Amino acid sequence: MAFILAAAGSAVGLGNVWKFPYIAGEHGGGAFVLVYLACVAGIGLPVLAAEILLGRRGGGSPIHSFATLAAREGHSPRWSAIGWLGVLCAFLILSFYSVVAGWALSYLWYAVSGQIAAPGDGSLDVAEAMSGLFAGLLASPAALIAGHTLVMALTMAIVAKGIRGGLERALRWMVPGLFVLLIALVVYAAATTGTFLAAARFLFQPDFAALSWEAVLVALGHAFFTLSVGMTAMMAYGSFLSRDVPIARASVTIAGLDTLVALLAGLAIFPIVFAQGLEPGAGPGLIFVTLPISFAQIPGGAAVAVLFFLFLAIAALSSTMSILEPVVEYLEQRGGWTRRRATVLLGSAIWTLGLGCALAFNVGADFTLFGMNLFDAFDYLTSNIMLPLGGMLIALYAGHVLSRDALAEELGPLPAYVFRSFRFLLRYVAPIGIGVVLIYSLMF
């Protein structure tokens, strides 16, 4: 699959459209968004480029590449532990991500079957009806498990059998399609709600007094999550990258596109939040309640809803396959496992773990880990601890284990100051920055 398309497909997903708006809402907007943008540019982007170039240079599964490259540079092959951290992270992320991707599929069904509409009998207003629809989904173990199961089955089919060709064709029109649709939703929100400026102010006017260390950690963690870095997913894709693709430019394109989609999603959603008097910090249901309110009112909104949730589901699937891929590659390369067998085994294990995340919204709500339900615990642990930690180790590896010459050779011709700043970010800024944020936020 064309690298840029696959990598952009991995980066753009539920993280941009579902997660970014709701965590921005929970952490007060402006200052949080600014910190997130700074983390993407100053830490996420260099680590993204590092992962891609390590993947290409290593050429194997991430675990193997860490070991062989370290040995080649005269360092311990134990650096492959970063790959193991990535494997664990992939298990945990996919198990909750798949549940949310299942919501997108459920909403695709609601859209097709005409349930995203203003109630005809006038008994409820639209906002109440759409909140009720989401609450109904969360209350149904069967519906949540069905969505999760379908997502895992599709992901396994893509990873095992290479129906990737089909996914690539879908991505070719989905990425521009999602873009156009989000812009149309932003324009619609701007034209009809009268709260567009309030939303823009909420998202872009920073109030640093309201910013906690916890919010900084969430912003940093999300920078990793949204770019798919810190767990070696991009490394796995990098291993297929041909030598003539300039990595610096590819990384900037991927990060830029990813950020734009997130900001557009925020601008489409917050005007509705304010116009309807909803709570910006409403949590994971935010987009599933707000956007349907628009769809129910837009002329032809039913068709728009079908398209939107179809695009969201495809964006989610191109991310889920990138989470499973590095783990499958490892088992396949270790020998003895066919791709099919590795995919079925790992996919089923993740599916089982995901059942716990699905049930966390209803019958399993009382089961807690670190004071959170299983879904929130997996999300917190991966985004806010494991991905930053993985990112820190990858930065240290690319900056200190890999020699300067090897780094320069992979990046190709670049202006000297760009190369020097890139290496400086990897060697010092990213590891120290991540370390400080982790320590402060966990202590205070």
Residue ranges in contact with ligand PHE by CB under 6 A: 10-11, 13-16, 93, 225-226, 228, 231, 233, 319, 322-323
Smallest gap from Cβ 186 to ligand PHE, in A, equals 19
Smallest gap from Cβ 417 to ligand PHE, in A, equals 30
Smallest gap from Cβ 234 to ligand PHE, in A, equals 8
Cβ neighbors of 76 (< 8 A, separation 6 or more) are 70
Tokens 């069904």 belong to: 109
CA dihedral 263, 229, 86, 9 (to 10 degrees): 70
Q: Torsion-angle region of residue 337: left (phi > 0), alpha (psi -120 to 50) or beta? A: beta
Smallest gap from Cβ 320 to ligand PHE, in A, equals 8
Token pair listed for 328: 């499958």
Residues 304, 184: Cα–Cα separation, whole Å: 10
Cβ neighbors of 275 (< 8 A, separation 6 or more) are 193, 194, 195
Residue closer to ligand PHE, measured from CB, 11 or 199: 11
372, β-bridge pairs: 369
Smallest gap from Cβ 286 to ligand PHE, in A, equals 15
Residues 56, 389: Cα–Cα separation, whole Å: 22
What is each CA distance from 407 to 60, 239, 295, in whole angstroms?
Answer: 18, 15, 49
What is each CA distance from 49 to 60, 105, 153, 394, in whole angstroms?
Answer: 17, 32, 31, 11
Residue closer to ligand PHE, measured from CB, 16 or 193: 16
Residue closer to ligand PHE, measured from CB, 134 or 237: 237
Three-state secondary structure string covering 369-419: ECCEEHHHHHHHHHHHHHHHHHHHHHHHHHHHHCCHHHHHHHHCCCCHHHH
Residue closer to ligand PHE, measured from CB, 285 or 301: 285
Residue closer to ligand PHE, measured from CB, 195 or 322: 322
Smallest gap from Cβ 444 to ligand PHE, in A, equals 27
373, β-bridge pairs: 368
Residue closer to ligand PHE, measured from CB, 231 or 342: 231
Nearest residue to ligand PHE by CB is 15
User: Rg (Cα) of the chain, in Å, rounded?
Assistant: 21
Smallest gap from Cβ 205 to ligand PHE, in A, equals 25
Q: What are phi and psi of 369, to 5 degrees?
A: -130, 130
Angle at 209 between CA 391 and CA 263, to 5 degrees: 55
Smallest gap from Cβ 109 to ligand PHE, in A, equals 21
Residue closer to ligand PHE, measured from CB, 6 or 129: 6
Residue closer to ligand PHE, measured from CB, 275 or 386: 386
Helices 247-275 and 213-227 pack at an angle, to 10 degrees, of 120
Smallest gap from Cβ 97 to ligand PHE, in A, equals 6
Residues 154, 337: Cα–Cα separation, whole Å: 21
Residue closer to ligand PHE, measured from CB, 226 or 259: 226
Smallest gap from Cβ 353 to ligand PHE, in A, equals 16
Residue closer to ligand PHE, measured from CB, 131 or 384: 384
Token pair listed for 109: 């069904």
